A = this chain, B = another copy of it.
Amino acid sequence: MMLLSDQAGAKIPRPATLRESVIEAIQELIVSSQLKPGQHLVESELAQLLGVSRQPVREALQQLSGEGWVDLHPGQGAFVHVPTVEEADQLLAVRALLETESARLAAQHASEEGVRRLRELCSRGIQAVESDDTDAAVAINSDLHALVTALSGNKVLAELAAQVARRVRWYHTPVARQRGMTSWREHAALIDAIEAGDERRAAEIMREHTESTRASYREQRAGEPIEPAPKRVRRRRTRTSSAN
């Protein structure tokens, strides 16, 4: 009987509700800048674009609003959230805080199995950097941080950290690519500390690690004040609606 479903974590790629698909699609459109900050998101347009009805789009927009991707103005609709430099810094500060605590707890609770998986990810990350595969490096970096939060044993903390991390990635994806190999040396040191159960050191390393990311963001923000003035405005009504 129980032959099936024993394979833990081997969940069938659920047909996933349309809502979830739409959420991911819109997130993708936002991070890829196809939807620009401040832009008015018209439900019917998105619906048509994605080939679904308005309802899943509505629900997706609301969920995205809950995670800070879009701003919902009652009676007016949804607008892509305009990332402020200030807000990005605050986000990075919160991330630093959450991940530092995660590292501390991970040092307390991490199992050998967990440490093994950390090392696995770390070596794969270094490999990716050496072969200049920055995309992979960034992805593995995220996985590693996510694993640290998971190993903290505090699910609430892990979930919050994950949410913040997602937003951070949108705000300054390019920055993450800059620190290169240095970052992975810090990762290795972090794992050592976790394995040794040295919570103080683990926390300190993670703190410096995340704060240096924050500093690196602050440095580069001089060059690009993000966007000039993306005023939130309902899209002008198409005068001559001939050309669609």
Which residue numbers of A lie inside 8 Å of B, CB to CB? Answer: 14, 16-17, 19, 55, 58-59, 62-63, 66-67, 74-75, 87, 90-91, 93-94, 97-98, 101, 154-157, 160, 164
A59 to B90, CA, bound (A): 29
A66: nearest chain-B partner, CB-CB: B66
A242 to chain B, nearest CB (A): 34
Which residue of chain B has its CB nearest to the CB of A158?
A: B90
B93 in contact with A154 (CB, 8 Å): yes
| Contact present for B17 and A156 (CB under 8 Å) | no
Question: In the complex, A16 Cα to B74 Cα: how many Å?
Answer: 8
CB–CB B91/A156 < 8 A: yes
Q: Which residue of B lies closest to A98 (CB)?
A: B97
11 residue pairs bridging A and B, Cβ less than 8 Å apart: A58-B59, A62-B62, A63-B66, A87-B155, A93-B154, A93-B156, A94-B156, A97-B97, A97-B157, A160-B160, A160-B164
